Each structure stands twice: as C-alpha cells, then as structure tokens.
Amino acid sequence: MRNVVVTGMGLISPLGLSVQESWKNAVAGTSGVGYITKFEKERFTTQIAAEVKGFDPKRYFDPKEVSRWDLCVQFGIGAGVDAIADSGLVITPENAERVGIIIGSGVGGLIGISHTSLKLEAGGQKQVSPFFIPSVIINMISGLLAIRIGAKGLNYGVVSACATSNHAIADGFHAIRRGEVDAMIVGGAEASITEIGVAGFCSARAMSKRNDEPQRASRPFDKDRDGFVLGEGAGAFVIEEEEHAKRRGAKIYARILGVGMTADAFHFTAPPDDGDGAMRAMKLAVSAAGLTPQDIDYVNAHGTSTGLGDIAETKAIKRLFGDHAKKLLVSSTKSMHGHLLGAAGAVEAALTIMALKEGIIPPTINLENPDPECDLDYVPNTARTQQIRYALSNGFGFGGTNATICFGKA
C-alpha cells in the first residue's frame, strides 16, 4: 500500500487564525471561550461560546464574494487556501486530475439557513438570495476550492456530525492508498454559533451553563463538568503519497498510518456505557497502522466535557489499552477551543500532529476535581514536554458514528 504523509496545514480556530498561533495558545493552556458576541445572548440559558476572533474573509474573498458565502464556507476555504500555501503544492494541467478535495461540515450553512428563513417570513420570496442554496450546502467548500486551485480529482463533502473531519481525512487517506490520486486536501468547517444552533443545544441540555466563568466552562473529565462549549472554525490538510511529496521536496509534518471507523448502533446521541464503538474505532486504527496498543504514546481524546461521553471514552481507552492505559498521555484540547462539531476533528488532528512534531503534549485545562470514573493521565492544566512516536486522534458523533486517525512521527 502507498504511504501517506501530511505536508500542509491550515487552521482558523478559537485559539488563533493559523496553525502556529493556535498551537502556541494550546501549549500555553489558553482558553478561547468567552461571552457570545454574535447576537443578543441574554435570552439563552447558555451565553458563552468559543468564537473565532479577528477573522477577515477579505483575505480569501473579494468583497462581492464575502456577502455571497456563508461563514462556514468562508472558514473552510480560508483553512484550505492556507493549507495549500503551507504545503507548496502547485496544481498544473498535468497533475490536476491527481489532486482531490474532501472538506466536510456537521451542519453546514446554519447561519445562512436561519437568517434567510427570517427574511422569507418577513418579506417573501423576493428577499431570498439566488445564492442562498449554493451558499449553505456542505459540499460547496470542496467545490469552490477546486474551482479556485484547479483540482480535478474526486471532490465531495462529508457529513457525520462530530466525526466529520476524521471521516474526511480517512476518505482522503484511502483514496491515496488506492492510487486514485497523489494528493488530497481534506478537513472540516463549522459555523453554528447562531441563535437557532445555540437554542437547539440549550434545549437538548447539552451545553455548559457556567456563564459566570466562560473560560472555566469546558472541563473534560472533571467531576464538575456540566456540558460542552460550542465552538467554530475550520481545519484543512494537504496529504500526499509519500514518494510524491519527497520528489517535490515537500516538508513532512507527520505520517497517517491508519484509520478506524465504526458505529455504536446504540442511541442517537448517547454512547454505550462501555464505549464499545469508540474502542473498536481505536482498535481498527491501531491495527491498520500495523501497530499494537502498547506502541501508542498519546491519545487526543474526543473529550467533550459531557457526563456520559467522557466516562465512556475513558472506559474505551482502558478496555483497548489495558495496563498500558496507565502510561498513556491523554488530553482533550476541547477544554481550550470548545467543540467545533464537524470541524473538531480537524483542529484536534492539527494539534496532535504538532504534538508529534514538537514533542509537547497540549493540556486538558480546567481539570481541577477529577471524576473518579475518569482516572487516566489527562495532562491536567499544564502542557508536558515529552517525545512521542505514535498518536491517536478521536472523533465521535451523534448517530453513534466513530472515527479515529493514527498518526506517526515524520
């Protein structure tokens, strides 16, 4: 099988507008959570979120286009453009059919759908933009990026809730391994911090209501956790067949060694108590990589800061790794950047890759009173310097969908 490596990364996250800025803040244990500024928050039980700060869409679009495309699309294109620039990959007529794009989203253009629904109700059909449908459909990120760079290989979007980005990476990985393409741009984007998005999660009682302490609200594995914090942003990667990358002199961040994808077949939002689906996804990723559980040094946990989810993931890790679980480093960077839904896996994969590259494990902040049922080494509150060889990045979503990526040091 063909080997796959990561040669470019782009991030637009609550921790920063680039990979380096996001990484610096993650290592420092900085929280990207604050009060919602996008709309009047007072009528909601949760009034906090992890918003992207300072994003300028005019870096990626001309002013006319800015008004046309939903923020989710803007985030996705921005991360994709940055990843391609970082990789140095040049698309030509000769290689265009050998480069594909898969960038997904859990919800897509929720802001555009919500705002356009209000316009329709108030003013009728004439108030609905002819660009409304293209602006909000999830595959438009991949489509627009292909138009911009001329990539003519396989092109689509992935939708699998909070596992979306990991599935996009996995599909790109398999396409390269099968020989269909030599390079892929993969990742995820999300922009769901809008009234209807917040209202929906509030009604589901899924989000933290620690409104008086925004930066301490996301606290995975802590006994006092009370739900996740909604985030937004995008992450994208250029991944390539290894020899293709070497021939063009590309820098290599990390290797993608294996992926694992499973279904819980249990409940539409809750994981099984024993974390069976998560355990099987990790097991498949490790096996596909040709490794054993004892080879893994670090797990970037899905770790959403929800009562059931954190315990189930802990049990899944302990079931798979046995005694080795006590030696594992495990952290949830959602404690800092919140839960980006369909883009979560992309941000977390980038931070996992940087951990491999730099030999620094980002912390789980706000872990002050550990849940007795969450008894692993979650790298609490302070980053840890430690060289690692192999790492897993987990993404689990509503509907019981699970996807784990196994990365190796370059």
| Cα–Cα distance, 316 to 305 (Å, whole number) | 16
Band (1; pLDDT cuts 50, 70, 90): confident
Distant-in-sequence, close-in-space partners of 76: CB < 8 Å, separation ≥ 6: 103, 105, 141, 145, 187, 188, 189, 234, 236
The three-class DSSP label of residue 404 is: strand
Q: What is the mean pLDDT of residues 338-358?
A: 98
Residue with tokens 């007072």: 42
* C-beta of residue 195 within 8 angstroms of C-beta of residue 174: no
Strand 48-49 to 34-35 pairing:
antiparallel
The fold for domain 257-409 equals: Peroxisomal Thiolase; Chain A, domain 1 (3.40.47)
Would you state the pLDDT for residue 353?
98
Would you state the pLDDT for residue 71?
98
Per-residue pLDDT at 84 exceeds 80: yes
Mean residue pLDDT of the chain comes to 97
Which residues make up the CATH 3.40.47.10 domain(s) of the chain? Answer: 4-247, 257-409
Q: Which two tokens stand for residue 260?
A: 């694992």
Could you give the dihedral angle defined by the CA atoms of residues 362, 368, 370 and 374, in that order, rounded to the nearest 10 degrees? Answer: -20
Name the E strands within 250-355. Answer: 254-263, 298-300, 329-331
* C-beta of residue 209 within 8 angstroms of C-beta of residue 65: no
Q: What is the pLDDT of residues 7-56, one digit of tens each?
A: 999 999 999 999 999 999 999 999 999 999 999 999 999 999 999 999 99
Q: What is the mean pLDDT of residues 115-134?
A: 96
Q: What is the pLDDT of residues 295-327, one digit of tens each?
A: 999 999 999 999 999 999 999 999 999 999 999
Homologous superfamily assigned to 4-247: Thiolase/Chalcone synthase (3.40.47.10)
The rounded percent of the chain whose pLDDT value lies above 70 is 100
Band (256; pLDDT cuts 50, 70, 90): very high
Q: What is the mean pLDDT of residues 196-225?
A: 98
Tally of residues, the chain = 410
Band (238; pLDDT cuts 50, 70, 90): very high
Q: What is the mean pLDDT of residues 105-122?
A: 96
Residues assigned a catalytic role: 162, 302, 339
The three-class DSSP label of residue 328 is: coil
